[in-house]
Amino acid sequence: MRLPILSLLIPFFIELSCCLQCMAIATPAHFLNIEAPTSFLHFTANQSLRAEELNTIAVFEKAAKSVVYITNTAVRRDLWSLNTFEVPQGSGSGFIWSSKGHIVTNFHVVYGADSIQVVLDDQSTHDARVVGLDPDHDLAVLQITPPKGKLKPLDIGNSQDLQVGQKVLAIGNPFGLDHTLTTGVVSALGRSIKAMNNRTIEGVVQTDAAINPGNSGGPLLNSSGKLIGVNTQIISPSGAFAGIGFAVPVNMVKRIVPQLIQYGKVIRPGLGISLIPDSIANRWGVTGIVIARVQRGSVAAKAGLKSLEELRSGKIRLGDVIVSIDGEAIRNYDDLATILDRHNVGDRIKLGVRRKGKERTLRIKLQAVN
């Protein structure tokens, strides 16, 4: 009789064994009150995920620890009581640049703020101070003072070898939500966008990874989890994601951020001149950049550049008008600033100027200007 009973129980044991295996796969080990081998749980939990998905998960889990949520407030005065109070002004994202507490974000995220708070991955909140601002490239550096060993700087990549079609990941806090991951590809390279101060930012990365309000200042990563850009703008009729977002390339960030940390501003290459506003030059019918004044001892002065003169009659006599740099036409201040932005202090350029209707070319070594 034993053999038939055992044969009847075998299917039951097999079914029970299968159920326990299913529970081990679908239920956390602490819920079952057992300690399953880590390798077994990792295998069973991820055996249905593709390698690409596992890579995305790994990148997010590592990089999210370096992404922060930024809020800023402005002080307002009550018209009736004259009492001052703080009001929320905006929010955005940022990321940890260094273990010394430096946080990189967008300029427009902290613009006009009277106080700024940074929320770390562990949900701790820290007061931040502004270290440096660069509105021309929509970048800002903040600093907090958290406990030692708490900050994990983001890995910095390279934007020079980016290719259209390669995978990218964006992490931020859209609409004030906690860490949110979106994925996409590099849609285009070398785009130009306008900063908040209407300056042109060149070489921008375009992506279709969803970027929404609140994502500003957050990192754009490659599939290795390295920073390749800082998310800054979107094009959208509705104000929300429409498939076109832009990020300041990391090579530009790597050049600007150290200057913001050291000087609080960007040390730009220039000529040592002051200029007549474009609106006035246009009114005069002048094409190019009109030099208003040449600073003493500047490279422009040494090259013999001439500023405009005001005659006794009250009329203005033009001096030199900048029309090109290295053969590239200069029509307005934005053209000049954009071309100079590609250079470093000490670089030599060929400056095309027009004086009394005649054009000539000068070789000038760029100097540091504020």
Which residues are known to be catalytic?
Answer: 108, 138, 216
Instruction: Tell which CATH classification among 2.70.180.20, 2.40.10.10, 1.10.530.10, 3.40.50.300 matches the domain 64-143.
Output: 2.40.10.10
Handedness of CA 116, 90, 156, 66 (dihedral sign): positive
What confidence score (pLDDT) does residue 12 get? 41
pLDDT per position in the chain (370 positions), as tens?
444 544 444 444 444 344 333 333 333 333 333 344 444 345 445 568 889 899 999 999 999 999 999 988 865 555 554 444 444 466 889 999 999 999 999 999 999 888 899 999 988 999 999 999 999 999 999 999 977 888 999 999 999 889 999 999 999 988 767 788 999 999 999 999 988 888 889 899 999 998 888 889 999 999 999 999 999 988 877 666 678 999 999 999 999 999 999 999 988 899 999 999 888 888 889 989 999 999 999 999 999 999 988 888 878 888 999 999 999 999 988 889 889 988 889 999 999 999 988 999 999 999 988 7
pLDDT score, position 26: 37
pLDDT at position 74 is 67
Q: For residue 73, how many other CB atoms are within 10 A of its CB?
A: 16
Pick the CATH number of 269-369 from 2.40.160.40, 2.30.42.10, 3.40.50.10800, 1.20.120.1810: 2.30.42.10
For the domain bounded by 167-266, which CATH number is listed?
A: 2.40.10.10
Is there a shared CATH topology between the 64-143 domain and the 167-266 domain?
Answer: yes
The pLDDT, as a whole number, for residue 342 is 86
Q: What is the pTM of this model?
A: 0.73
Contact 216, 93 (CB under 8 A): yes
pLDDT score at 315: 84
| Cα–Cα dist 324/298, whole Å | 19
Total Cβ atoms within 10 A of residue 349: 18
Distance separating alpha carbons of residues 267 and 235, to the nearest angstrom:
30
Quick one: pLDDT at residue 239? 64
- Domain locations in the chain? 2-48, 64-143, 167-266, 269-369
